[in-house]
Amino acid sequence: MTTNELPVRHERTDARKRKGRGVWIFLRDLVIILVAAILISILIKAFLIRSFYIPSGSMENTLQINDRIIVNELVPDLTPIQHGDVVVFKDPGGWLSPRDQEPQNWFVAGVDWALSVVGLSAPDSNDHLIKRVIGLPGDTVECCNEFGQMSINGVPLKETYLKLPAGVTKASGIDFKVTVPKGSLWVMGDNRYDSADSRYNTNKPGKGFVPIENVVGKAFVISWPMSRWTWLDNYPTVFAGVEEKDNENSKDH
């Protein structure tokens, strides 16, 4: 061995060490990024948004069965609920039929739990309902007038989002008139003749009204499937007359 070979071997050893340190730094940074992303996702889910899937057709054609939606959890705690908002809420009591828990193997259950932690799965979707807000506290909601329309505080609504059976123009299959109590909502499905909403739960303890405290949040976007991606509208033009009348009443008081 000549002395000329020693520097070459040292350089090769140093290069291997630098390469090993580079791989270690890359793996360390990757783990840090993944942990940070998971923590951020958990915080976002806990305080800002949640994901739910749609288990029924009561909100068709706005929402289809198995659509996934993103819900803004700042509503109603920091942002007030408005007419026309699509809200997810906990069962006020007796709206949902008891369901048998479907058995899952440990792997599927574990994956479902992990995805739910970061807001990508919603294993409790079947324990919640989703409807459109029609009546706010103090509103008198009535259906139907001579044109088959529903009205709020005497203002008729032209509900462009409704799905009605062929040949039917009446906004509700049953007539009703209610005044929404303080701290509650009157909600209805867009698939008006196939929605067990406030109208069909008046015999329950809450008399068909949903306590605002039961609202989990406002649905604002369809996130899956990608072909269905769209922002969810609360149709301010439909409720414009009602909002104006509400504002006038508040000024009078």
Catalytic entry in 51, 58, 121, 198: 58
Among 4-18, 49-63, 185-199, the range with the most confident prediction by mean pLDDT is 185-199
| Beta-bridge partners for 186 | 135
pLDDT in tens, 16-67: 666 666 677 777 777 877 776 666 555 555 557 888 889 899 999 999 999 9
Q: With bands split at pLDDT 50, 70 and 90, how would you rate the model's confidence at 201?
A: very high
pLDDT of residue 32: 77
At 163, list the tokens: 């799905």
d(C-alpha 85, C-alpha 132), whole Å: 6
Mean pLDDT, range 103-130, rounded to an integer = 59
Whole-angstrom CA distances from 31 to 26, 40, 106 are 9, 14, 26
pLDDT of residue 250: 47
pLDDT in tens, 68-96: 999 998 888 888 999 999 999 999 998 98
Q: Over 90: is that where the pLDDT of 3 sits? A: no
d(C-alpha 209, C-alpha 199), whole Å: 9
The share of the chain scoring above pLDDT 90, in percent, equals 55
pLDDT of residue 129: 95
Mean pLDDT, range 180-197, rounded to an integer = 97
pTM for the complete prediction? Answer: 0.75
218 counts as catalytic: no
Note if the bond before 225 is cis, omega within 30 degrees: yes
Average pLDDT, the chain: 82
SS in 3 state form for the chain? CCCCHHHHHHHHHHHHHHHHHHHHHHHHHHHHHHHHHHHHHHHHHHHCEEEEECCCCCCCCCCCCCCEEEEECCCCCCCCCCCCCEEEEECCCCCCCCCCCCCCCHHHHHHHHHHHHCCCCCCCHHHEEEEEEEECCCCEEEECCCCCCEEECCEECCCCCCECCCCCCCCCCCCEEEECCCCEEEEECCECCCCCCHHHHCCCCCCCCEEHHHEEEEEEEEEECHHHCEECCCCCCCCHHHHHHHHHHHHHC
At 90, list the tokens: 């906990």
Catalytic entry in 121, 125, 131, 151: 131
pLDDT of residue 31: 80
58 counts as catalytic: yes
d(C-alpha 191, C-alpha 202), whole Å: 19
Residue with tokens 């409790």: 124
